[in-house]
Amino acid sequence: MQTDWAAQLASIVGPEAVLHRSEDMMLYEYDGSVERAMPEAAVFPSTTDEVVRLVRWANEKNLPIVARGAGTGLSGGAVAVEGGLILGFSRMKKIVEIDTDNQRAVVQPGVVNLDLSLAVAASGYYYAPDPSSQKACTLGGNVAENSGGPHTLAYGVTTNHVLGLEVVMPDGQLLHTGGKVADSPGYDLTGLLVGSEGTLGIVTEITVRLTRLPEAVKTLLAIFETVDDATETVAEITSHAITPAALEMMDQLTLQAVEMATKAGYPRDAAAVLLIELEGLTEEVEVQTAQIGEVCRNHAAREVRLARSEAERKLLWAGRKNAFGAMGRISPSFYVQDGVIPRTRIPETLRFIRQVGERYQLKIANVFHAGDGNLHPLILFDARDSQQYSRVLQAGSEILAFCVELGGSITGEHGVGTEKNNLMPLLFTEDDMAAMGQLKAVFNPGGRLNPSKIFPTSKGCGEIRIRHQVGR
């Protein structure tokens, strides 16, 4: 980094909010993915005005800018692939307004997801999107990646709960989209920006919808001797016109790691379990609990447990939400994928994943949102072994390509980032990609906002497409 740049940045945000030494930059060269790249500096604005000034400064220097929340993203979205400036939002963490009468809140992007729910719980409300990393991930990052979570099945992903945004454009212009009303006239720019992974603008304020806490909640744990029995139960539950708030699945390898880490009461010897949550009016939940229990037993569930207390329910969910971290008990590293398939195709997809693991001599654990077909195979490996790392990347690409073949997608909630940008041609034609590129150019003509994300580069794309001749 040029010597005078640090002083110029300090004049905008203060010297304590600027990092540029190489040892400091090592903390910002990665996120939750397997990608790494070193930025030139990291700055931490406290206000929208400071963000505007930083963006204008970077524009003058022709520097790339990457907005970063908590760095929990799983697709390389917060990695500065082309160097430049990291804008960290850890200081912009105010809940600006809570309006429970109208079920709205206005927050800064650095607010931690769970903190918003805790702030409104006493009033009988919560914020519905709940990524597994909700204790750490920020709402700005959730907006960038259009994050989901276990309760996506009933409540949808982030875009279904964001009503308005304040956004700094690449030239420093301040843009306001949407608002507190349910629907604003004109183009849906809020919907366009949510999930754009920081490539169209930098979000500095978010208006969200709050959801009333349910009258009753029941959590079931269904235990199965075979994976097929568990996966077939998923389709059967939804065919009964029951939409659980959450319908999660974990296989045996995952269960063993989770139980070692959290001791939540999961059976280590089961082939798979379904974690099922029902919410709503008390009478309705009681009826649906009985119906789902019957469906599970009809599909050879060896046991269906009902959480007997709030403490037991929270412990079961702690096991599920800490599943990724629990993998450290059985592997030094893992590579998580995020494919989506029709839920009726889960059994054959898990068989394919098992075959991929055998072919590449890799262990693969499965923990995922079964209700909406959003798979998260965790490919276990040792990152210090370069040959093993190469096999892991290829295995991940094959799994995602298979998801596309079944009519699915390469991402359900983690975003495309750098990890899957070269798989985009599996989903979209050249004309599709050109149209998206033209749209990006309207907002980000210089390409300086989060470059090398979403759209393909030359890295490995041909190799992937030769192996899987798929696409729409």
Q: What's the whole-number mean pLDDT along residues 244-249?
A: 97
Q: What's the whole-number mean pLDDT along residues 359-378?
A: 97
pLDDT above 90 coverage of the chain, percent: 93
Task: List phi, psi (to 5°) of 49.
Answer: -60, -40
The whole-angstrom separation of Cα 138 and Cα 115 is: 9
- Domains of the chain plus CATH, in order, are 3-88 (3.30.43.10), 95-212 (3.30.465.10), 216-326 (3.30.70.2190), 331-467 (3.30.70.2740)
Alpha carbon 255 to its chain centroid, in Å, reads: 21
Give residue 114's pLDDT: 98
pLDDT over threshold 50, residue 462: no
Tens of pLDDT, residue by residue over 53-69, are 999 999 999 999 999 99
Helix (H) or strand (E) holding 425, with range, is none
Q: Which residues are bridge partners to 43 per DSSP?
A: 18, 87
* Cβ within 8 Å of residue 310, ≥6 positions away: none
Tens of pLDDT, residue by residue over 164-202, are 999 999 999 999 999 998 888 999 999 999 999 999 999
Tokens of 22: 């190489």
pLDDT band at 458; cut points 50, 70, 90? low
pLDDT over threshold 70, residue 245: yes
Q: What's the whole-number mean pLDDT along residues 250-273?
A: 97
* Cβ within 8 Å of residue 268, ≥6 positions away: 252, 255, 256, 259
Give residue 239's pLDDT: 86
